[in-house]
Structure 1
Amino acid sequence: MTSTNGHSNGIRTSGDAKQKPNQEEEILPSFTPSFLERIGIGAFKLLNKAVPWYKLPGFIGAFNLAFLRIELRQYNLHDGYASAEAQGNANDNPLPDERYRGARHSDGKFNSLEMPLMGCRGMRFGRNFPRHLTQKPTEEELWTPNPRMISEKFMARRDGRFIPATTLNMLAAAWIQFQIHDWFNHVQSEEKFNVPAPEGGDSWPHPHMELFRTKPDEIRDPSDIKCPGYRNENTAWWDGSQIYGSSEEATQALRNQLPDGKLALDEIGAVSFLPRDKDGNPLTGFHDNWWIGMEMLHTLFALEHNAISDALKAAYPDMTGDQIFDKARLVNCALMAKIHTVEWTPAILAHPALQIGMNANWWGIVGERLTKMLGRISKTSDIISGIPGSGAEQDGIPYSLTEEFVSVYRMHSLIPDDIAFHSATTGAHIRTIPVASMTFSQAQKPLRSHTLTFPDAFYSFGTSHPGAITANNYPSFLRNLPTPDGQTRDLGTIDILRDRERGVPRYCAFRRLLRMSVPTTFEELTGGDKERADELREAYGGDIEMVDALVGSHAEPVIEGFGFSETAFRVFIVMASRRLKSDRFIAGAGEWGEGTYTKVGFRWVQDSGMRDVLGRHFPELRATLEKGGGKNVFAPWVKMGER
């Protein structure tokens, strides 16, 4: 297969035998960088032997990351299928309606007109590492060491002690789960694991821990036997499927035959709520793992969709309801992608190079002001003029989200055990509520009371801290969580087990395959924390190669300003920009602009941020948001009474 710029793909493997990955193994690049790109990659490699990227001045560090991203695109993108034929073709999968040439299809089809199934619902997750190095584990590998023991030792909050992330607010925690609901959801098998107790027992309060397995995709190639593919029930695009659904049928149901391009909401007095089904589940695109944080953000961006619809209707009265809906969805999705890129990411990765780099991802190094004034200065350069409108590109590998991307976004530590709610207008304490009592069908309950409003909830999230993404910081209720499907879950155990089940390499192998340095001792892994090193040594039988990727990432020293590990960040570097660059409705040179989005819609995307969205729908928050000045909305807000 060749990509749109003629890059070729391929990896050189040494057969199907499972082996310990090493830095010397030859993995062929998926494309050949330009001459200047190769010079940049080589120059920064030499520089980084003396000075790591995060110790360089911000602007130079941002360029270092840009060239590192090119190298990661070369070697750390791999298809989940043995053949690119799985992505379909235009002859066998023609457009059902010309409408979808300029509008998103809810199934995720036709983002690429040449590979119409790429990224759609039901397609496999890809890999950041070669498939022969991400094989299905043996039974011994699956259970060694015991995942319940690992959860107890390295996930549980010790003595209930909550470790806060003081540079962030709770909106940052809710936001990433809101985005994850858009991106991925594995197909669940009817078969179950019976997770054995560790030797000597543990604190799990039930006699058995049973969990549904991940369902492998059908075998399409002999390589699928040793390295199963796993399908994504969500669309993989940044298309707002958590709001709109991952099928056209779901989208139509959520519109509820409204003729004006809007999403259906329940209006109770002056307050809009997400509608409910007979079981109390929210009627939205994706409602698994539901809690009050999801209630707030799903409602907010349903309101935003409807506000965009009103603006389009006013500006273009001849538009049909379907046309308004299609344009409003494009605008809403692009706005969420922009907020994630230039606001959420710089908040959780608060490093000068990231501030510059993520802003450049959207606006280019020429910056927001010049890009708005003059448009794209460079037609194709991501670095000069940003990814939007630069031309969609797959870098030789069909687009998908990856199993390793899912792995590094295991961020349950962000959730506290309790949330203290305060008035958005006076700052007075209203009540403190355990998060466990605001989950699933109970998530809307506090907001339907007469004591707590949406503005109060957003103000309280804005002024309180999430948990730090580190060892021993999983909330207690998530380690004993009854779910609507009849399971009782320990998410710490699940997170470990899912990585092993799906062939995600262990920590040292994970780093080798990213061409990172690999610790040779437990003390080196923990940055000299001897107590933590001794705990890891005991739990993993003295074998550092056995440490799980998530456990190692939680134990390693964190770069100053970072909310998660550099190991996880390496996957983030390549996948964060890929979600933009692969999408023709964002990166497409012919699709990004007023021609597709309309003049009103395109201005809405370019001129709005999270501060605008919150203030638009909850005017009570404007005064507090203005007090923050230019401060990132995902950083702690200024509280009432504070200067």
Structure 2
Amino acid sequence: MNSYNFILRLFVYVVVVCPVIVCAHAQTEKSFVSLDHAHTHNKIPPCATCPRHGRCVPKVQCPAHLRPGSYNPLCELDGAVGVCCFTGLGHAAESDHISRSSASISAEDIKSSHSLSEKKLAHCMSKANKLLEHSAYTVLNTTHPSYGHHLSVATLDKRAATLGRGGLLNLFAAQELKARQAISDEDLELGLTGHTDSPYCPPQPTCTAPSRYRSVGGECNNPLHSTWGAVHTGYERLLPPDYSDGTWAMRTAMSGLPLPSARTVSSTLLLDGTFPSRTHNLMFMQFGQFIAHDTSAGVVFTNNQDEAISCCFNNGEDILSPELQHFACAPITVAPDDQFFGTFGHKCINFVRTQIAPADDCTVGYAKQMNGATHYPDLSHLYGSSQQKLSSLRAADALLKTFNDYGRELPPLTKRKECMTVKEGAACFESGDHHGNQIISLTVLHTIFTREHNRIARALYKINPFWDEDRVFWETRRILQAVYQHIIYNEWLPSLLGPQILKTFGLYPSAGYSSAYDPHVNPALSAEFSTAAMRFGHSVVDGRVMIPSPKMGGVYETISIPEVMFQPSRMRLRHFLDRLLIGLTTQPMQTVDPFVTEGLTRYMFHGGNPYGVDLASVNIQRGRDHGVRSYNHYRQLIGLPPYLEFQHFAPSAAQRLAQVYERPEDIDLWVGGLLEEPVDGGLVGPTFANIIADQFNRLKRGDRYFYEHGPDVNPGGFTPSQLEEIKKVTLSRLICDNNDGIELTSQPPNAFLRADLPGNEPVPCDSPRILSMDLNLFREN
């Protein structure tokens, strides 16, 4: 056979006999940073099967496909187009790993970086101590609206401060090694610093034999990585961060100039408007916040006496001078002619940065912000994230503590003075995360889940009278966590993401046990999910909550949202709980769009003040604090072309965008995501939908205790019949079983859809359309 015939035969074999090898190559012309060209692919059809044992995944789950020289052919993925991935969620492409040598850093550089890091931390702490001498300026006044925001992002867990200082030590060491050119910008960006050593290594948990029950702090879930998903660990990233210094300094515009003030962006783009959803109700919004609080709680810096830091002079008149600013200050500038805050002479909105978490593998790198909650959907805001907190919430007989308000069980009262109403008889409640009083509709959900725990515990005691108190408590917690996860994946996510996204990411509940567990998947929340995508919910908040009067008909009262923030005393009114539950399922939420109620942008946490905090400004600034890249980068990540001209946006948005941003490449992720049209059958646009779907996919695949995983994976796995009972439960069932029964006797079958939607009209709570779980299946023979 001559060489020509051999080559011809080989070509025919490759193209005809084995066509799956010849498929589209997802080649990009830019790095994570450059946006000079649109992301393009050639037109070869997607692979049916990935070559080289690659895994076909949604593009958002293979960030390396954006790297120059990456090899990621397109592939068929459940009715969508994915990419063949060979690098997992890592940011570096195969070519990046090949080009890197295993060069180590000299012992002298390591020693010097450690020494200088300790000196820099000592200097920061010393300066912070000196600021205490000027506490009138540097400590936040407890009557100021920003103090209410501080309560939402603070932690009372003393472990956070120690870990936070360790995180700073490692960050400062990385900065010193970078200055010495011992590690490069690209090494930092791509996480290729595994050969480095850090001055602080966080203590590792002690994990013994697999427990039947999920740990309180999220540790020991993964046998190979004991801290994955645990409290006080860092947020991960879909893309490398955009810090102006490569390690922690906040993002700048593409031109190198400062980005527009977050308040300027908010006041120009995110206007007040009312566009009610035609399908979804306020309960959908409120349950979203319940999920967000359970899985994400950024922990901000406090001063050396654990007090709230002030970055503004005289409660907002101006920005504090540099010598009086804490190193964690990043105040938001307010223009003198601001239509609202300018009225009060305010030029500053207080903003404190999030604490840094040390890497669990004891390496140095760019800043990763600390999550003060477990990353898993495990009801940590009900049970706490530490044994100490859990113990303080437990009562006798395997119950959770409650406040008996003349026969009605409410969450236990707290001794902390965090609520704005302090008069005699006013109620302020305890929760596992200290945020249960943030808004009264959130307090209602804490009440429902507290009561459900106690309802299940009492039933299990009767079914299994030989169980001791501890066994009943932990079994109840295990069941309720499973019910909660099922509501998320069976009811809430389908309403949010639509059928195609759920199918592509494998988020539908399984017919029986799930086979999705992968011990190599880190379930940790991404910074993009926490600071942007999951905050879509702030757009759907209605500024007013209608409290109906079922017996009299009509509306009993209309409550402005800011009036019930950290003011939950209405819970003591005998008819209020039932009425609010009816109102939440009846009243439409707002649509996901660039409109945010002024209750959140002007009056949040206002207390007795005529002004409050602008939550939209805080969201934008928090994204920059976490180093989240601009909106265009995430469009490219999911396979969409970047917007290179403002005219690519809808005309109504393009003009306002051009007023505040220099270039489309500067647009913040949260802002850009709100401007997108929703995906088919969903509520959010494609960028947010992909980020959220990716997160809940990893929370399913990377959680050994996920409710659908069988006993071969989950040490506390349910039997098939028990799992079948759990999958009968809906949020409507929980509401039916745990309301006061004074005025609420019926409930729409789908608690997240408007009660006036055809087919979702309220039915009696004993209707077969609202199934109950038979706890007799949990009887131990």
TM range (shorter): 0.7 to 0.9
User: Secondary structure at 1:455's aligned position in 2?
Assistant: helix
CA distance in 2, matches of 1:312, 1:21: 62
1:63 to 57, 71, 78: 78
CA distance in 1, matches of 2:500, 2:623: 30
Please give the per-residue CA displacement for 1:244-281, whole angstroms capped at 9, x wherever unaligned. 0111110111004x1x2211111223321111113254
1:614 partner amino acid: I
**TM-score (norm: length of structure 2):** 0.64
User: Secondary structure at 2:507's aligned position in 1?
Assistant: helix
1:392 to 505, 517, 542: 517
* Offset at residue 64 of structure 1 (A): 2.7
Query: Do the aligned partners of residues 454 and 356 (structure 1) sit closer, same or farther apart at CA in structure 2, a change above 3 Å counting?
Result: farther
User: Secondary structure at 1:162's aligned position in 2?
Assistant: coil
Aligned to 1:215: 355
Query: Do the aligned partners of residues 494 and 460 (structure 1) sit closer, same or farther apart at CA in structure 2, a change above 3 Å counting?
Result: same
**TM-score (norm: length of structure 1):** 0.77
For residues 112-131 of structure 1, the aligned pairs below 5 Å read: 112-131=222-241
Aligned to 1:348: 496
**CA contact under 8 A between 2:679 and 2:689: conserved in structure 1?**
no
CA distance in 2, matches of 1:73, 1:637: 46
CA distance in 2, matches of 1:139, 1:617: 47
Query: Do the aligned partners of residues 576 and 399 (structure 1) sit closer, same or farther apart at CA in structure 2, a change above 3 Å counting?
Result: closer
Query: Do the aligned partners of residues 267 and 604 (structure 1) sit closer, same or farther apart at CA in structure 2, a change above 3 Å counting?
Result: farther
Counterpart check, 1:230 vs 2:373: no
Aligned to 2:398: 261
* Offset at residue 192 of structure 1 (A): 2.3
* Offset at residue 478 of structure 1 (A): 4.3
CA distance in 2, matches of 1:641, 1:582: 38
Aligned to 1:533: 654
For residues 407-486 of structure 1, the aligned pairs below 5 Å read: 407-410=532-535, 411-424=537-550, 427-440=553-566, 442-443=567-568, 445-450=569-574, 452-482=575-605
Aligned to 1:617: 738
Counterpart check, 1:401 vs 2:549: no
**CA contact under 8 A between 1:22 and 1:513: conserved in structure 2?**
no
Query: Do the aligned partners of residues 502 and 318 (structure 1) sit closer, same or farther apart at CA in structure 2, a change above 3 Å counting?
Result: same
Please give the per-residue CA displacement for 1:429-487, whole angstroms capped at 9, x wherever unaligned. 211111111111x12x222124x332211111100012222112233344333379x99
Counterpart check, 1:165 vs 2:281: no
* Offset at residue 17 of structure 1 (A): 11
Aligned to 2:269: 154
User: Secondary structure at 1:346's aligned position in 2?
Assistant: helix
CA distance in 1, matches of 2:742, 2:495: 24
**CA contact under 8 A between 2:39 and 2:640: conserved in structure 1?**
no
CA distance in 1, matches of 2:633, 2:466: 58
* Offset at residue 497 of structure 1 (A): 0.7
**CA contact under 8 A between 2:242 and 2:251: conserved in structure 1?**
no
User: Secondary structure at 1:212's aligned position in 2?
Assistant: coil
Aligned to 1:144: 259
Please give the per-residue CA displacement for 1:29-72, whole angstroms capped at 9, x wherever unaligned. xxxx96699697699xxxxxxxxxxxxxxxxx99235x749869
Aligned to 1:74: 88
The structure whose residues are more often helix, as a share, is 1
* Offset at residue 426 of structure 1 (A): 5.7
Unaligned runs of 5+ in 2: 1-28, 42-48, 60-75, 93-189, 303-327, 420-427, 764-781
1:637 partner amino acid: A
CA distance in 1, matches of 2:226, 2:55: 35
CA distance in 1, matches of 2:299, 2:33: 25
* Offset at residue 489 of structure 1 (A): 2.4
Please give the per-residue CA displacement for 1:342-372, whole angstroms capped at 9, x wherever unaligned. 11122233x44357678x63433xxxxxx3x
For residues 487-636 of structure 1, the aligned pairs below 5 Å read: 489-526=613-650, 530-541=651-662, 543-586=663-706, 588-590=709-711, 596-597=717-718, 602-618=723-739, 624-625=746-747, 628=748, 632-636=750-754
CA distance in 2, matches of 1:556, 1:23: 19
1:610 partner amino acid: L
**CA contact under 8 A between 1:331 and 1:597: conserved in structure 2?**
no
1:329 to 477, 489, 497: 477
CA distance in 2, matches of 1:218, 1:595: 30
Aligned to 1:9: none
**CA contact under 8 A between 2:299 and 2:355: conserved in structure 1?**
yes
2:475 partner amino acid: K
User: Secondary structure at 2:352's aligned position in 1?
Assistant: strand
CA distance in 2, matches of 1:248, 1:22: 52
**CA contact under 8 A between 1:328 and 1:601: conserved in structure 2?**
no
Counterpart check, 1:277 vs 2:277: no
CA distance in 2, matches of 1:472, 1:493: 13
Higher mean displacement: 472-481 or 501-510: 472-481
CA distance in 1, matches of 2:762, 2:479: 36
* Offset at residue 581 of structure 1 (A): 1.5
CA distance in 2, matches of 1:220, 1:327: 31
* Offset at residue 556 of structure 1 (A): 2.5
2:588 partner amino acid: H
* Offset at residue 569 of structure 1 (A): 0.8
| Higher RCO (CA < 8 A, seq sep 6+) | 1
CA distance in 2, matches of 1:63, 1:550: 28
Aligned to 1:301: 449
CA distance in 2, matches of 1:331, 1:515: 39
Higher mean displacement: 419-428 or 172-181: 419-428
Query: Do the aligned partners of residues 427 and 466 (structure 1) sit closer, same or farther apart at CA in structure 2, a change above 3 Å counting?
Result: same
**CA contact under 8 A between 1:413 and 1:470: conserved in structure 2?**
yes
Aligned to 2:313: none
For residues 7-86 of structure 1, the aligned pairs below 5 Å read: 63-64=78-79, 68=82, 74-75=88-89, 83=194
CA distance in 2, matches of 1:82, 1:152: 41
Higher mean displacement: 239-248 or 199-208: 199-208
**CA contact under 8 A between 2:55 and 2:85: conserved in structure 1?**
no
* Offset at residue 428 of structure 1 (A): 3.7
1:531 partner amino acid: S
User: Secondary structure at 1:167's aligned position in 2?
Assistant: strand
CA distance in 1, matches of 2:558, 2:86: 45
Unaligned runs of 5+ in 1: 1-13, 27-32, 44-60, 365-370, 377-387
CA distance in 2, matches of 1:559, 1:534: 24
